[in-house]
Amino acid sequence: MKRLPLDDSFKVNRNPVTLREIVLDKLRSAIMNFQLLPGDRLVERDLCDRLGVSRTSVREALRHLESEGLVEFADAKGPRVAIITLEDARDIYELRCVLEGLIVQLFTLNAKAKDIRALEKALDENRKALAEGELTQVLESVQGFYDVLLEGSGNRVAAAQLRQLQARISYLRATSVSQENRRGSSNQEMERIVAAIKSGDPQAAHQASVDHVRAAAKVALEYLRLKQNDSSKLREIATPIVQKEPRIVS
């Protein structure tokens, strides 16, 4: 019998997504979509039953989410969904202003034609996601927009620093984008960023980026302050909301 050569059909097809990554994605999505709320206890046994996976997979996913700042092991009662305070949020938005402003400036200086086309495509996808109204799709489209900026900026260190904050940025983004008075203006602000980049003006691009972050911060901080006032009952909800904008380093 003649031996047949081994072809590509002999290869083992491996699923590149591990069980741990699936569990991680499920838990992260539940937090981003507000199915799990800040302060909710994350009982391993309950999560194992709900997800249909082992305790090891759940425990590994929770530890990873802790490193992203979405889960905290605050006391002996076990893990819970992290509570992002007003102070935390202000700090994050301040850092966003600095890092994203720099990224946008560098993108304006370094981006190639294909990078700008990719950015325009990402902006269009965001516009479509906003029209469809699904929060998950909106967040993914915004992340796609920033992924293009990070890749085209040419500064891997700044990009790595921003990605390290990404989970908490996405959570705050979900908080602001979920407010009806924010959705339409968000895409318009991103359009101004793209227009400034296409004009080749890094300073205008930087300012458009800072304005975008400031506008998002105002809505998110207002929401968080209202929630904090409602839960603490220390002040009247009618108190002026955003008393302190994120400090901007120009």
Is 48 inside a domain boundary? yes
Q: How far apart are CA 56 and CA 230, in angstroms?
A: 37
Is 186 inside a domain boundary? yes
Burial class (CB in 10 A: 0-12, 13-18, 19+), 189: middle
Question: Which CATH number is 38's domain given?
Answer: 1.10.10.10
Query: Do both 69 and 102 map to the same domain?
Result: no
User: Rounded to two decimals, what is the model's pTM?
Assistant: 0.76
Q: How far apart are CA 106 and CA 99, in angstroms?
A: 11
Query: Do both 91 and 74 map to the same domain?
Result: no
Q: pLDDT tens track of the chain, all 250 residues? A: 444 454 554 444 545 468 888 999 999 988 988 888 888 999 999 999 999 999 999 999 999 999 999 999 977 788 999 988 899 999 999 999 999 999 999 999 999 999 999 999 999 999 999 888 788 888 899 999 999 999 999 999 999 999 889 889 988 888 887 776 676 788 999 999 999 999 999 999 999 999 999 999 998 898 888 877 765 543 443 334 344 445 544 4
Range of the domain at 166: 86-232
Is 76 inside a domain boundary? yes
Q: Cα 249 to the chain's mean position, in Å?
A: 22
pLDDT at 238: 35
Question: Which CATH number is 113's domain given?
Answer: 1.20.120.530
Q: Helices marked H in 8-165 — which ranges?
A: 19-32, 44-51, 55-68, 86-110, 113-132, 135-153, 156-164
Is 69 inside a domain boundary? yes
pLDDT at 237: 37
Residues contacting residue 91 through CB under 8 Å, at least 6 positions apart = none
Query: Do both 225 and 102 map to the same domain?
Result: yes
User: Looking at the 3D structure of the chain, how many domains does it have?
Assistant: 2
